Amino acid sequence: MRPRAFLIFAFSLLFSQAFLIVQASASVNIVVYGNKDCERCLKYIAELEDSLKDIGVTNIQIRDLGTDPKAIKDLHELNERLGVPLSMRGSVAVVVDDRFVFEGYVPVEVIIDFLAKHKGEYRSFVVYRDERRNLYTFMDERGEIRKCRISRSIQECFQKPRSPYSTSPPILPLIFASGLLDGVNPCAFAVLLFFLASLFAAAEASPRDVRKRVLKAGLAYIASVYAAYFSIGLGMLKAISLFPYPNLVARFGAFLIIALGAVNVKDYFFYGRWFSQKVPLGRWDTIAKWIYKATIPSACAAGLLVALFEFPCTGGIYVAILGMLAAKTTQTRALMYLLVYNVAFVLPLIAILAFAYNERVVERLREWQRARRRPLRLTLGLSMVALGALILAILK
């Protein structure tokens, strides 16, 4: 090939590639979410706009999260659709074609490198920049999350091993098992059995009518415990979501589980010495006042009080799980898992109600619980320590 012909060919090839890049860039739709009252946001957005125009991107929309409620709603819906965890949502978001999301102040050169060279290689992903640790969290289209460091290109994330944690369905068994473990606590059992015994003792109707009354009141008690515990969880989840580092909350909860588990193990050997997990006597008196009324409204009141009084003793599991949900899942998924957790939480109570359908069984169960109080605490304590360690391993 002659030198002139070769130069013409090379120039044509380079020109055609540049033309294709410009054409591809021109068809890209960029939406930037930020706050116009934030000086840093404005500087970042201005730099991004200039760089995008340099590569031929003209479809750029700037939306203000400070004054536009619809912008807040649209970004929230996009994050929920893509499954973006709450911990991966920043004050600034750059959305490319509703499929690629750069959360936080991801360097402009990284975004430009992706648009110019790698956009066609992926279906969707989310990148969040943790400025405090100069670390990036990358979530691919399957919901798999990995931590990585990026200096110039998004490609660098694919050279790192993926995180052992994934937001995929395997989290469900952990949520269910945690709720079940949280529900297996002596306090709720004792109150339910005491309440059922009081119903039988106060009954003056036929045995059949008494059993119906016991069933209704027992279900009312369980429903009240469920509603109260779910409401506590929902409120805490909202509060944790506002905290910038939900992982820290989850870790605190995990250490709390281990500490409370150790207390239960201690109670197997030295019950009542130093600190023990139990409802104070004064609170028992408050619960008993409602129980002795032996009505459905009193059952609801007793259930509410039990949920409130026992939460400080058993809430470590709840706090750890809520922190993990806030850090690793979307709001919609977190709500679904919260429902599952609380169903598992009341399952032991439902099982007791199913067995304790007559007075003799209730008395036997009460005797069994009193006789095996310490072995139950040992089992519960060891399980809590194991669960806390597992949650810490997941959060790494």
Q: What tens digit of pLDDT does each residue of 216-259 get?
A: 877 888 888 899 889 988 888 888 877 766 777 778 888 888 88
> 54 lies in a domain?
yes
Q: Indicate whether 121 pLDDT > 90.
A: no
Q: Indicate whether 66 pLDDT > 90.
A: no
Residue in this structure with the two tokens 């281990």, named with its chain if needed: 258
> 347 lies in a domain?
yes
Q: Give me Rg for the CA atoms of the chain.
A: 29
Question: Domain ends where: 159, 189, 218?
Answer: 159
Q: What is the number of other CB atoms lying within 10 angstroms of the CB of residue 362?
A: 24
Residues 210 and 152 in one domain: no
Residue 163's pLDDT band (boundaries 50, 70, 90)? very low
Question: Domain ends where: 97, 131, 159?
Answer: 159
Residues 211 and 351 in one domain: yes
Q: What is the pLDDT of residue 339?
A: 93
Residues 229 and 356 in one domain: yes
User: If we measure between CA atoms, which residue out of 168, 178, 197 comes closest to residue 361?
Assistant: 197
- Between residues 71 and 390, which one has the greater pLDDT? 71
> Cα–Cα distance between 227 and 345 in angstroms, integer?
11
- Between residues 363 and 70, which one has the greater pLDDT? 70
Residue 138's pLDDT band (boundaries 50, 70, 90)? confident
Q: Indicate whether 282 pLDDT > 60.
A: no
Q: What is the mean pLDDT of residues 365-377?
A: 71
Per-residue pLDDT tens over the stretch 21-33: 444 444 788 999 9
Residue in this structure with the two tokens 């807040």, named with its chain if needed: 72
Residues 76 and 222 in one domain: no
Q: What is the mean pLDDT of residues 98-110?
A: 88
> 8 lies in a domain?
no
- Between residues 190 and 20, which one has the greater pLDDT? 190
Q: Indicate whether 69 pLDDT > 60.
A: yes
Q: What is the pLDDT of residue 168?
A: 42
Q: What is the CATH number of the domain that holds 115?
A: 3.40.30.10
The alpha carbon of residue 315 and the mean position of all alpha carbons in its chain are separated, in whole angstroms, by 15
How does the average pLDDT of the chain come out, rounded?
75
* Number of domains present in the structure of the chain: 2
Task: Give the contacts of 85 (CB within 8 A, at least 6 positions apart).
Answer: 139, 145, 167, 327, 328, 329, 330
Q: What is the mean pLDDT of residues 103-115?
A: 87
Per-residue pLDDT tens over the stretch 288-299: 566 555 567 777
Q: What is the mean pLDDT of residues 298-304?
A: 75
> 19 lies in a domain?
no
What does the buried/exposed string (b/e) look like for 248-273 if buried means 16 or more CB atoms within 10 Å of the residue's CB?
A: ebbbebbebbbebbebbbbbbeeeee
Q: What is the pLDDT of residue 344?
A: 92
Residue 342's pLDDT band (boundaries 50, 70, 90)? very high
Based on the number of CB atoms within 10 Å of its own CB, is 19 exposed (0-12), middle (13-18) or buried (19 or more)? exposed
3-state secondary structure the chain: CCHHHHHHHHHHHHHHHHHHHHHHHHCCEEEEEECCCCHHHHHHHHHHHHHHHHCCCCEEEEEECCCCHHHHHHHHHHHHHHCCCHHHCCCCEEEECCCEEEECCCCHHHHHHHHHHHHHHCCCEEEEEECCCCEEEEEECCCEEEEECCCCCHHHHHHCCCCCCECCCCHHHHHHHHHHHHHCCHHHHHHHHHHHHHHHHHCCCCHHHHHHHHHHHHHHHHHHHHHHHHHHHHHHHHHHHHCCCHHHHHHHHHHHHHHHHHHHHHHHHCCCCCCCCCCCHHHHHHHHHHHCCCCHHHHHHHHHHHHHHHHHHHHHHHHHHHHHHHHHCCHHHHHHHHHHHHHHHHHHHHHHHHHCCCHHHHHHHHHHHHHCHHHHHHHHHHHHHHHHHHHHHHCC
Q: What is the pLDDT of residue 159?
A: 53
Q: What is the pLDDT of residue 340?
A: 93
The answer to whether the beta carbons of residues 139 and 158 sit under 8 Å apart is: no
> 11 lies in a domain?
no
Residues 285 and 218 in one domain: yes
> Cα–Cα distance between 260 and 350 in angstroms, integer?
25
Q: What is the pLDDT of residue 285?
A: 59
- Between residues 287 and 47, which one has the greater pLDDT? 47
Residues 151 and 226 in one domain: no
> Cα–Cα distance between 55 and 18 in angstroms, integer?
10
Question: Domain ends where: 119, 134, 159?
Answer: 159
Which domain covers residue 77, as residue numbers? 25-159
- Between residues 194 and 110, which one has the greater pLDDT? 110
Q: What is the pLDDT of residue 210?
A: 65
Q: What is the pLDDT of residue 16?
A: 44
Lowest pLDDT segment from 76-80, 104-108, 264-268, 386-390? 264-268
